């Protein structure tokens, strides 16, 4: 069956978040890691989200990868492909939101493309093209100090125009309030004047529902999970229904954590009361394999009796000491390699249900496990679904990939409880 909707996501956890939004709003969804080979037997789904890692790479590299992913999706019947970006519009004057949107527009021969990072559920709203993050103007929010892409200009028309060749317009809230036909009339007018993209205002989910309906009249759109919600609801009301359930996989369970965020540290402290938790000696991890082998031996002695957790996670002070000693990138990368190796070794020893905490940590683990795709199941916490592998060398597994500050204090127990 052809897919109803496709998406190309600029990072892995953003892809999961969008896949979760599609699934929660009525679409049976698969998330793939890159465009998988044609030989991968994908289950019958309504939507496919192709996860890429192109948020902070050079624009031409991002455009090439995104183009290939869009082609893969359209070849499978997707009449609309959304480019999934961060809800804080993470980008620089070089890209990559503008260049990818323009490439999609050219390839699909689309008119003016709707672009909006609005996602009211997580406090992202757009009014007169100005992005507000939890009630603060983007340029006054913590994003102004983002290490890779400091966001110092709150006007997304200006931000997107600086990284685009064609002019960028505004689709204002007053137009959106008049409904999808009014939106499309405004877009047609902008298209006649050669506007490549239009930043769409949205404050409430109802605005995104209108934008979703309007966007489906075009082959492409660009947005965060809020626009995904609008697209999914527009398609779901057209007949798609879905109760996200995953077949159980059995086997052993484990948690591997590399996130040092406040939420993860709290979740680990709570997990410690109900299951064995090993705190890795991260300094020793930097010096060779002995610490990895110690962790695997420790796990081997306990895991048959129930889930275990292995964590590199540490307090901000300890992380700062590691970074001072080894450098920020080298420490992070080496620890990601170590945690992903531990995850892979645990899987080799019979773990079929795996929770990974940390965005980068999850990416490294999924890459090392060579998992080509996931079917999206029920939601554990906002933005974090249970995933079931599709294909891959380890047989059927269930995973939960938790980024940074996601999940409540009992997240780990809740995740394991929902994985069958």
Determine the 3-state secondary structure of 355 from DSSP: strand
Residue 346 CB, nearest approach to ligand ADP (Å): 17
The secondary structure of 74-94 as a DSSP string is HHTT-S-EEEE--TT---BTT
Residue 143 CB, nearest approach to ligand ADP (Å): 15
CB-wise, 156 or 357, nearer to ligand ADP? 357
> Which spans in 25-125 are helix H?
59-75, 97-108
CB-wise, 150 or 327, nearer to ligand ADP? 327
CB-wise, 49 or 335, nearer to ligand ADP? 335
Residue 364 CB, nearest approach to ligand ADP (Å): 8
Strand partners, 127: 130
Q: Judge whether 370 and 326 are in contact, CB under 8 Å.
A: no
Classify the C-alpha dihedral 157-160-163-169 as positive or negative.
negative
- Alpha-carbon distance of 32 to 47, in angstroms, equals 11
Size (the chain), residues: 420
Judged by the rule CB under 6 A, the positions of this chain that interact with ligand ADP are: 258-261, 264, 282, 312-314, 318-319, 322, 331-332, 335-336, 358-361, 403-404
CB-wise, 190 or 285, nearer to ligand ADP? 285
Residue 68 CB, nearest approach to ligand ADP (Å): 25
Residue 262 CB, nearest approach to ligand ADP (Å): 9
* CA R_g for the chain: 21
Q: Judge whether 361 and 260 are in contact, CB under 8 Å.
A: no
Reference 312, options 335, 337, 340, 289; nearest CA is 335
CB-wise, 185 or 278, nearer to ligand ADP? 278
CB-wise, 304 or 318, nearer to ligand ADP? 318
Write down the residue that tokens 């996989």 correspond to: 249
Residue 35 CB, nearest approach to ligand ADP (Å): 24
- Residue nearest ligand ADP by beta-carbon distance: 358
Reference 287, options 236, 252, 325, 250; nearest CA is 325
Residue 318 CB, nearest approach to ligand ADP (Å): 6
Reference 220, options 349, 29, 78; nearest CA is 78
Residue 338 CB, nearest approach to ligand ADP (Å): 8
CB-wise, 200 or 335, nearer to ligand ADP? 335
CB-wise, 251 or 382, nearer to ligand ADP? 382
Phi and psi at residue 204, in whole multiples of 5°? -115, 160
Q: Judge whether 6 and 80 are in contact, CB under 8 Å.
A: yes
């Amino acid at each position: 069956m052809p897919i109803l909707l496709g998406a190309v996501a600029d990072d892995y956890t953003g892809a999961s978040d969008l896949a979760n939004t599609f699934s929660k709003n009525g679409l049976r969804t698969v998330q793939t890691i890159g465009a998988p080979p044609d030989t991968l037997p994908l289950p019958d789904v309504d939507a496919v989200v192709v996860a890429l890692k192109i948020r902070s790479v050079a624009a031409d590299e991002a455009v090439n990868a995104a183009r290939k992913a869009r082609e893969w999706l359209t070849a499978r019947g997707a009449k609309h492909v959304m480019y999934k970006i961060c809800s804080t519009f993470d980008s620089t004057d070089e890209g990559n939101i503008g260049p990818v949107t323009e490439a999609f527009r050219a390839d699909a021969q689309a008119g003016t493309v709707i672009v909006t990072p609005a996602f009211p559920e997580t406090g992202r709203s757009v009014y007169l093209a100005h992005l507000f993050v939890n009630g603060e103007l983007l340029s006054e929010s913590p994003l102004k100090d983002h290490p890779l892409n400091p966001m110092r200009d709150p006007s997304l028309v200006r931000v997107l125009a600086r990284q685009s060749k064609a002019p960028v317009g505004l689709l204002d809230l007053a137009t959106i309030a008049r409904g999808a036909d009014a939106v499309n009339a405004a877009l047609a007018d902008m298209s006649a004047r050669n506007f490549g993209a239009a930043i769409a205002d949205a404050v409430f989910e109802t605005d995104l529902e209108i934008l979703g309906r309007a966007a489906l009249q075009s082959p492409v759109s660009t947005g965060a999970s809020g626009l995904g919600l609008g697209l999914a609801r527009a398609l779901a009301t057209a007949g798609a229904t879905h109760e996200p359930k995953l077949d159980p996989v059995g086997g052993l369970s484990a948690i591997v954590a590399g996130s040092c965020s406040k939420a993860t540290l709290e979740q680990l402290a709570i997990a410690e009361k109900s299951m064995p938790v090993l705190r890795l000696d991260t300094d020793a991890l930097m010096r060779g394999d002995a610490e990895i082998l110690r962790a695997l031996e420790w796990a081997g002695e306990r895991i048959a009796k129930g889930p275990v957790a292995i964590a590199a996670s540490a307090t901000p002070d300890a992380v700062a000491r590691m970074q001072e000693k080894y450098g920020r990138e080298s420490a992070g990368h080496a620890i990601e390699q170590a945690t992903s190796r531990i995850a892979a070794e645990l899987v080799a020893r019979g773990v079929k249900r795996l929770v990974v905490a940390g965005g980068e940590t999850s990416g490294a683990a999924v890459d090392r496990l060579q998992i080509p795709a996931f079917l999206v199941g029920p939601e554990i916490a906002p933005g974090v679904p249970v995933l079931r592998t599709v294909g891959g060398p380890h047989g059927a597994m269930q995973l939960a990939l938790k980024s940074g500050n996601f999940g409540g204090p009992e997240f780990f127990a809740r995740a394991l409880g929902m994985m069958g």
